[in-house]
Structure 1
């Protein structure tokens, strides 16, 4: 991810998922999109299905997933859209999904996520955001590695966030047992983990022809924000102020439509424009530069640290063992 040549594309912040996939034929390709029953996951799945891919919506709420399947079929004319049960916080659910998968997998979009949740732990004692956003997707992607390798030229997309700027992965206290719980630091840690996963998976899986990239979709008002009340927004403002510097005016947050929010995911999942690109972090359809103080854009050094990426991989395997 620390290359001298930054990848740029013909697309931009205003581009939609339909824009970036126009003219791309995914006939014969198979895709899995997690969290595809709401938000940008729906539009990611819709774009892939519209281009001819067979798409599995891997969701916790299968009733909502079935509703989304019917919606996508109506809007795209595709019959190759199905739903499957997947609870990323439950290792047994992930294992069941992986075990049931047969044949090659060309595209995996790790899109599902939770944000700024109240302090919650899974039955294994894992902090909910780290468990959902990182560990569940790590188990899914590594479990499907054989299917991805069999596809030849597979792509894995890790949906991160500019929230990764708020926190590195704190290996000494992943689950907030030693420090006061902060929903935004927990979210930031999990989103940093999404980038570090891409860094290390790209290194490990390059010989298998698997490209792995991470991205920031942009600010989109979706169901992801359901836990965010006044107190959480105040905490967010404090973290943002700390990030950009005291006395500095926070940048205006321009919200994208869900169609625009899905664009960078779809670009990395399917566009020939980024063939051969791996181990990078994108925002607004271009590779992001390093984070600069006083801004809330770019990629933090802690999120592309190769040593942290190796350590996270090892720790994740140990937790899931």
Structure 2
């Protein structure tokens, strides 16, 4: 199966990759749409006519963002809805309130390298938010996504290279907690979800891909010190010439996966810098995708494990 390349690059912006695409009559949800690359993802979708819902924890920030997007795009079909991915009751309320078809779902929200914290269920917060919350949201919206066919974007990270899903102790109940390992396994889960969701749902017209948006300085790094960020840049092969992506550039690959005609009928893959990623290799910094993140057996296992957790 040939790897997918496009005319766009690391420097491309969301506005550039979506230029010429008309999303009039299409409905989109962007989780975490009130900050960081979520804002620019939502803005690009709204700018081409989509009806966009910002699914956010902070609805006041969501309202301010929606007003800004309406002002800059002229599209008044920008809505705000409360969603706390770490709270399963909040996820259920969101899915129960959704009415009608949903064409684009960008699972963008997340938490990075947070200190150890647990949900009321006892779940480790990063896995609960980054994976289980989005898993419950997407499966809960399945009927809406299947109504007219849909694309789902699962925002992962190069940090998936830090850890496979540790099935024997996902929630750090027996092993010492390490923030980056916890983040890494949650980001691997985001890729595995794309693999298994596409296998299960492609017949319904639903295709799911995962994306590494790039290194963008946003509120996502609020738990990470400047010293740690410098160390991470060095580990990724970023020397003194390292440059962060802008939020507009960081949103580009998500927007590409959500809208490009070139990605029609494509799912279960991992993209970075507006192209499908190559297999990860030693000495290539933090680029590429780990084989374990695309393993279909692990993807099926994670789905089963996730369903069991949500049934508790």
Distance 1:82 1:230 in 2: 35
- Pick the aligned partner of 1:134 from 119, 127, 131: 131
1:271-290 superposed matches below 5 A? 271-290=260-279
Distance 2:272 2:244 in 1: 14
Q: What runs of 5+ residues in structure 2 fail to find an aligned partner?
A: none
Tell me the residue number matched to 1:300. Answer: 290
- Pick the aligned partner of 2:299 from 309, 312, 317: 309
1:24-43 superposed matches below 5 A? 24-43=21-40
Q: What runs of 5+ residues in structure 1 fail to find an aligned partner?
A: 245-249
The reply to whether residue 181 of structure 1 matches residue 177 of structure 2 is yes
Tell me the residue number matched to 2:87. Answer: 90
Deviations 1:263-300 (A, max 9, x none): 00000111212112111100000000100111210000
Give the length in aligned residue pairs.
Answer: 308
1:57-72 superposed matches below 5 A? 57-72=54-69
- Pick the aligned partner of 1:81 from 78, 98, 108: 78
Task: State the shift of 1:254 in Å.
Answer: 3.1
Distance 2:272 2:219 in 1: 21
Matched residue SS, 1:82: strand
Matched residue SS, 1:172: helix
Tell me the residue number matched to 1:214. Answer: 210
Q: CA RMSD in A?
A: 1.4
Distance 2:282 2:55 in 1: 38
Deviations 1:51-74 (A, max 9, x none): 000000000000000000000000
- Pick the aligned partner of 2:224 from 224, 228, 234: 228
CA contact (8 A) 1:184 1:236 kept: no
- Pick the aligned partner of 1:166 from 156, 162, 165: 162
TM superposition score normalised by structure 1: 0.93
TM superposition score normalised by structure 2: 0.96
